[in-house]
Amino acid sequence: MSKTTDTDDTVREQTTPLVDVDDPEDRVDPVQQRVIGGSLVNVCDEMGHKLTRTSYSSIIRESEDFGCALLDEQARQIAETDSTPLQMGPIPAYVRGVVELFEERGDVFREGDVVLHNDPYYGASHAPDFAVVVPVFHEGDLTAFSVTTAHHLDVGADKPGTCIIDTVDAYSESVRLDAVKIVEGGQRNETAWQLIEDNIRVPDMVMGDIEAQISAARVGSDRLQDLFAEFGHDTVKLAGQAMMDYSERMLRQEVADLPDGTYSAEGYIDGYLASEDDAERDVFLAVDLEVDGSDVRVDLSRCADQVDGRPINMPFEGTVVPAVLLVIRSTLLDTETVELVPQNHGITRPVHVHAPEGSIANPRFPAPTIARFCPGNRLADLTMQALADVVPERTCAGIGNLKICTYSGMTDDDEYWVYMDITSGSYGARPGKDGLDATDTLYANTRNNPIEDIESHYPLQVSRYELREDSEGAGQQRGGIGAVREMEFQTPGRVSIEGDGSKYPPWGFDGGHDGTPGAVAVEGEIDADTPRSKMSNKSMAEGQSLRTVGPSGGGWGDPEQRDPAAVAEDVRDGLVSRERAETVYGVVLTEDLGVDATATADRRGD
Amino acid sequence: MKILGTDIGGTFTDLYLVDDVANEQTIHKVSTTPEDPAEGVVTGVSELCEMTGTAPAAIDYVLHGTTIATNAVLEHEGVTTGMITTENYRDVTHIGRHQRPQNYSVQQDIPWQNRPLVERRYRKTVPERLTATGTVETPLDEAAVREAATELRGDGVEAIAVCFLFSYLDDTHEQRAKEVVEAVCPETYVTASSEVYPQFREFERFTTTAMNAFIGPRVADYISRFKEELVAAGVDAELHVMQSNGGIATEELVVEKPVSLLFSGPAAGVLGGKWRSGADTADEGANNTITLDVGGTSADIGIIDAGEIVEANVRETSIGGYPVMAPMIDIETIGAGGGSIAYVDQGGAFRVGPQSAGAVPGPVSYGRGGTDATVTDAHVALGRIREEFFLGGEMELDTAGARSAIAADIADPLGMDTVTAALGILDIVNNNMANAIRAKTVQKGRDPGTFTLVAFGGAGPLHAADLARELGVERTLIPRNPGVLSAVGLSTTDLQYDYINTEFTLLSAADSEAMAATYEDLVTAAREQLRADGVDPERVTVEMTADCRYEGQGYEVTVPVGSDGDLDSLSTIRERFDRAHAAEFGHNFEDNAVEVVNERVTGYGEMPSADRLALPERATPAEEHVLASEDVQFSVDGEVRTHETPFYDRTDLRSGHTLDGPVIVGEKDSTIVVPPDFRAAVQEYGDIELTRK
């Protein structure tokens, strides 16, 4: 059960199983499993706390676009914190990528190393999400990894910021960090730091954020050592494996309850809507989800081919797999309805995802991938739609996808300012509940930045942030409502947008209506009527404003079945007009916006 | 001077009368009257006065801890509330930070969308806008405010929150709008965000203000009824109420700012723990304290670091899922208490809580219809709680029922024996509490080994020694009257008021004279408030601090910036911040610019507080007072061992008695477990100290 070498001379030997057994749950008593399990999550939370408190850019400290996790020596996730899933899901793939690169170049992990990594062809989610990997040793053996990931404001691409939709390959979208030891055996590699710093437009923020990531990862390593000292190294390892087995069993139980069969969904994302190339304009995605006993096989073979020269390709390990897993977990092990099942490697075992090489869901190097967020989230949405076929009661109708914007410009001192803003999406209606309004969706769960923070630090004014009206996906349960957000430039600058959801509406379910697409408009230049969801480093004049409109999610069930009182509430709240209440829901209201029961019954033909 | 402290809990209302002239302290407990909580208090006061021969009119101060505000939020039973806010930002409180509370859930609800404090139909917008530097971009449209107020009056709202962007920089618009609203709706409770908590981050500030409005009329009604009933009972004293920050405030102030009462009850417990541990006396070297108040459904944890009660960062405080920005003691509440239910989940994992059997049906051993095995049942099954102590022997305990529930729910499914399962329940609930304590100590760079653990509440003393062992705490104290410590804590506090000015200023570019002038204004406001409360100026102290961060960071560290109204030099403040940042986070950036976000002043008015009364010294050996000796099971070094264990009644113990574990000490509302590896020593003031042998 344990490897025997003390001096590992290859990374493969370092990452072979250490204290690995088939029956960990029988070897650690149930009480200790709970105690150690709780402590491991506690460690990850402490890492997250430290990272938010010491980072600089609002994308980390306010929006919480970061992840923290502990992994074992085989890069299997043991525990994570509760920030955004899209940062935590890919962490094991990052570490596997680092191991692979070390193997290729004959490197090994040593105590005191800190590895910085962002290569999407070696496990990274996309280039702006840097991982900081700290190897943890016990009596000379590599036994764990303490890892933080975070989205950086600028990563040295050919345009400011990271919402880049127009780039040719992996070299033009970021400074490439292939498992770089920025600290080696405790010694900072100053040359590496300098090289990174020199390639970034806002070095104070980004380098400070990397430091914060390192401090947080080291806290994870130190606390793990404390746990080894308290409970014994092997016991902690076995408790971690027991947690994995538990989570795996919980998911398998749920999958086994589903009828075997293949369930499918397909649709498009907004590509480059103005392009004359069909393959770029409307990008086809399809999910074929097979339930086989307690396993789920998700086949993405029908998705479009990779789009060369357009960064909407999705890294397979770092984006596609986490997107699919997130939906399977959030529906079958929904924390609202099922006991909290720890998120760890065990959750991944019953799920097998396949996409052929060269697919948009598994591109070949060096296809660019930096704008993979929206297609990935749509893939999650299609996974949901496939599941709606078999477990409708646990799913929701189509979600409104997001738009992510980079605002930039130059200060009077000829220095760059760069600000990244994540707009809100919306959820589709649920079987018993309306959809969530204006929220981050599916595999992302970040926070917006307060208006009072944005305006205090950047020459921008958020001149409007409100819900849309008369846009909901009608249904017995209505879809969530998207938000309108307007940004006015106080000095000349530029804006880039990576987005989706302006052409294809979120899908309705079981008689529910589709939702309403979003839009992008620039005052005096671009109206909202032509569907558009992307923008490439467009220049903006002083006083000019940009409006982004989030899509409203799909409805669930026949709108004429909706409780008339609920319709009246939405009318009183100004979210639905009287006319719409009557024409779409068949609900007739009185002068003072009460339900006219007789007229409603007539209208609905009851 | 006679001071009455009263704390209303779910089951009991505790009263505590201090007479600092006669040097008497008297405790009384009556049943809580949930319909009208004031009624129970008035009954208790009358009985207490009779017991002590005190004329009600002779009571000088009534100090009160209350859950009225907390319950109004948790049960969503505030009033219909309106909001007047800046045009184009109608939905700030609905969209929030656009983050879902749970990562892995499709069926979840978002509290502020599902149960809004102010429904959208009652959120009216008016033209007005300040910029990020506080200058007026759009003047306030007073006619629009009037129109909005008129509509809201027509809608029958009972409270209105005025919430404008950037009002923390300049409150002129909000104040003017408030005046207009009050003129239109003279009967309505009106509150403005700049007076509730003038800090940036609009969602959190607006939500706090909406909550203030939502609960304001409820709190105002409660306080006035409470006062009336006191007067009717002959008590003509000043009424002061405990705030979440551990300070007490006058009735007028809490009616204006009820959102400051959300942790009123637990805050009193932390103060009580601090007082008993000697944290506020310099001589005992015990100025680092962890307070642990364990009741039936939850455990509240507070920290006193170097004599100061640790306050929460306003970024991290919430109630019922809503963020709330109000100064409060950093109290960690977890679902771990005597009623916490133990079970084996679907996947075969052994879990305890957070679901609780509560007071009804309660643990199986209470025989009130409870069927789920709880933490209390584990103690009963192990023989640690004895009927004759439990509520003074008023209730029978169903030991066999507790054992069979543990066997059925835990032991059988996991293939262990009942005793091991019962000890396992305690290990798990102890670990949940230990993790919560670690989050407030180890995670913040505090070594629990240098802290005194003060454990109280009905269930705290049952778990204290095991927790101390797990955390490496060397000294544990079970205070005198652990069941009523919150009421006791009320009498130990000072009047406290916070004043804040938010202005983003780089320290390197700050004008020290202007900054000194700002502080002078805040200090004056604090002193004037305390003078108005009738506090002797000799007994007033002011604390000057600033919330600072490195420019670009999003979180602030609070540092002292002066004393007695005089501002320290900016370079001193800078150095202090660098040191504080390093202490909190392990590193600092001496080359980076420091930004001041909030200037703060806290004014304290010292109240005449009670001395601790000495317990008589022992006259006879402790052994003479053994009531019974029974087999009790303990977990020692991971093994289950049965020990013949003597039981004592705490009222028989005297100062100077020491007892070697295993020992169990019972009293009316609590039980102290002294495991085999611990020793108990009765202290001068009647507290019992537990240490490792």
> B residues 162-221 near A, CB within 8 Å?
165-166, 168, 200-203
Task: Specify the pLDDT at position B458.
Answer: 86
Identify which of A264, A265, A270 has the alpha carbon closest to the alpha carbon of residue A282: A270
Determine the Cα–Cα distance for residues A185 and A187; give it in Å rounded to an integer.
Answer: 6
> B residues 521-580 near A, CB within 8 Å?
550, 552-555
Predicted-complex ipTM score = 0.95
- Smallest Cβ distance to B106: which of A58, A395, A447? A395
CA distances from A330 to A394, A426, A441, A510 (A): 9, 16, 12, 21
* A554 plus A575 within the same structural domain: no
Task: Specify the pLDDT at position A559.
Answer: 98
Q: Is residue A288 part of a domain?
A: no
pLDDT average, residue stretch A519-530: 92
Judge contact between A154 and A206, C-beta under 8 A: yes
Task: Specify the pLDDT at position B554.
Answer: 66
* A54 plus A175 within the same structural domain: yes
Judge contact between A473 and A511, C-beta under 8 A: no
Contact B200 A456 (CB under 8 A): yes
* A492 plus A576 within the same structural domain: no
Task: Specify the pLDDT at position B536.
Answer: 84
Task: Specify the pLDDT at position A70.
Answer: 98
Determine which of A23, A28, A31, A575 to mutate to test the interface with B (most B C-beta atoms within 10 Å). Answer: A31
β-strand pairing of B670-674 with B663-667: antiparallel
Distance in Å, alpha carbon of A382 to nearest chain B alpha carbon = 14
- Measured between beta carbons, the chain A residues lying within 8 angstroms of B110 are 436, 439
Domain end among A202, A228, A254: A228
- HEC states along A88-130? HCCHHHHHHHHHHHHHHHCCCCCCCCEEEECCHHHCCCCCCEE
- Smallest Cβ distance to A35: which of B91, B431, B550? B431
* A454 plus A484 within the same structural domain: yes
Please, how many CA atoms are within 13 Å of residue A413, restricted to the half-sphere of its CB? 2
Determine which of A225, A466, A570, A576 to mutate to test the interface with B (most B C-beta atoms within 10 Å). Answer: A466
Residue A209 — φ and ψ, nearest 5°?
-70, -35
Query: Residues in chain B with pLDDT < 70?
Result: 10-11, 279-286, 314-315, 389-394, 443, 445, 554, 584-587, 608-611
Grouping H, G, I as helix, E, B as strand and the rest as coil, residue B435 is helix
* A471 plus A587 within the same structural domain: no
Number of domain units in chain A: 3
Percent of chain A topping pLDDT 70 = 99
Determine which of B104, B105, B330 to mutate to test the interface with A (most A C-beta atoms within 10 Å). Answer: B104
Distance in Å, alpha carbon of B197 to nearest chain A alpha carbon = 14
> Tokens 């009106």 map to which residue?
B190
Helices (H), A389-484: 451-457
Phi-psi region of B609 (alpha: psi -120 to 50; beta: other; left: phi over 0): beta
Domains for chain B: give ranges and CATH numbers.
Answer: 2-72+221-261 (3.30.420.40), 76-218 (3.40.50), 265-488 (3.30.420), 495-605 (3.30.1490), 622-692 (no CATH)
Determine the Cα–Cα distance for residues B177 and B183; give it in Å rounded to an integer.
Answer: 10
Q: Is residue A78 part of a domain?
A: yes
Distance in Å, alpha carbon of B546 to nearest chain A alpha carbon = 17
| Residue B631 in tokens | 């087999």
CA dihedral for A58, A64, A66, A70, sign (positive or negative):
positive
Determine the Cα–Cα distance for residues A152 and A61; give it in Å rounded to an integer.
Answer: 11
The set of residues, in sequence order, having a beta carbon less than 8 Å from that of A267 and lying 6+ positions away, is: A284, A285, A286, A378, A381, A382, A385, A504, A507
| Residue B298 in tokens | 């939850």
Contact A25 B106 (CB under 8 A): no
pLDDT, one tens digit per residue, over A489-503 is 999 999 999 999 999
- Measured between beta carbons, the chain A residues lying within 8 angstroms of B108 are 334-336, 436
- Measured between beta carbons, the chain B residues lying within 8 angstroms of A439 are 95, 98-100, 110
Q: Is residue A441 part of a domain?
A: yes
Identify which of A476, A269, A469 has the alpha carbon closest to the alpha carbon of residue A392: A476
- Measured between beta carbons, the chain B residues lying within 8 angstroms of A61 are 553-555
Q: Is residue A311 part of a domain?
A: no
Any A CB within 8 A of B105 CB = yes
DSSP state of A320: I
Any A CB within 8 A of B101 CB = no
CA A446 to chain centre: 8
Exposed (0-12), middle (13-18) or buried (19+): which is B132, by Cβ within 10 Å?
buried
> Tokens 């010694």 map to which residue?
A187
Task: Specify the pLDDT at position B439.
Answer: 81
* A433 plus A575 within the same structural domain: no
* A476 plus A606 within the same structural domain: no
Task: Specify the pLDDT at position A5.
Answer: 45
Q: Which residues of B507-546 are buried (b: 16+ CB within 10 A; e: fewer)?
A: beebeeeebbebbeebbeebbebbeebebeeeebebbbbb
Grouping H, G, I as helix, E, B as strand and the rest as coil, residue A303 is coil
CA distances from A262 to A267, A294, A297, A356, B379 (A): 17, 14, 9, 19, 52
Any A CB within 8 A of B685 CB = no
* A457 plus A602 within the same structural domain: no
Identify which of B126, B65, B82, B62 has the alpha carbon closest to the alpha carbon of residue B216: B82
DSSP state of B631: E
Q: Is residue A500 part of a domain?
A: yes
> Tokens 């660098």 map to which residue?
B578
Task: Specify the pLDDT at position A1.
Answer: 42
- Measured between beta carbons, the chain A residues lying within 8 angstroms of B427 are 31, 35
Task: Specify the pLDDT at position B29.
Answer: 82
Exposed (0-12), middle (13-18) or buried (19+): which is A100, by Cβ within 10 Å?
middle
Task: Specify the pLDDT at position B587.
Answer: 64
* A402 plus A529 within the same structural domain: yes
Task: Specify the pLDDT at position B491.
Answer: 80
Identify which of B48, B45, B42, B90 has the alpha carbon closest to the alpha carbon of residue B202: B90
pLDDT, one tens digit per residue, over A463-490 is 999 999 999 999 999 999 999 999 999 9
Q: Is residue A465 part of a domain?
A: yes
Helices (H), A473-591: 564-572, 578-585
Identify which of A40, A38, A42, A47 has the alpha carbon closest to the alpha carbon of residue A150: A47
| A2, pLDDT greater than 50 | no
CA distances from A432 to A427, A479, A508, A551 (A): 14, 12, 14, 21
pLDDT, one tens digit per residue, over A331-373 is 999 998 887 889 999 999 999 999 999 999 999 999 999 999 9
> B residues 585-624 near A, CB within 8 Å?
585-587, 589, 592
Domain end among A206, A228, A250: A228
CA distances from B316 to A344, A513, B198, B205, B322 (A): 26, 39, 16, 13, 11
* A496 plus A415 within the same structural domain: yes
Helices (H), A321-388: 321-332, 345-348, 373-388
**Domain range for A95:** 11-19+30-228
Domain end among A228, A251, A271: A228
Q: Is residue A234 part of a domain?
A: no
Determine the Cα–Cα distance for residues B649 and B2; give it in Å rounded to an integer.
Answer: 30
How would residue A423 be classed by pLDDT, with cut points 50, 70 and 90? Answer: very high
Contact A336 B107 (CB under 8 A): yes
Distance in Å, alpha carbon of A579 to nearest chain B alpha carbon = 18
- Measured between beta carbons, the chain A residues lying within 8 angstroms of B597 are none
The set of residues, in sequence order, having a beta carbon less than 8 Å from that of B483 and lying 6+ positions away, is: B12, B14, B29, B456, B457, B458, B667, B668, B669, B670
* A438 plus A481 within the same structural domain: yes
Distance in Å, alpha carbon of A581 to nearest chain B alpha carbon = 16
Q: What is the pTM of this model?
A: 0.89
Q: Is residue A358 part of a domain?
A: no
CB pairs under 8 A between A and B: 214
* A472 plus A573 within the same structural domain: no
| Residue B653 in tokens | 């113990």
Which position has the higher pLDDT, B636 or A428? A428
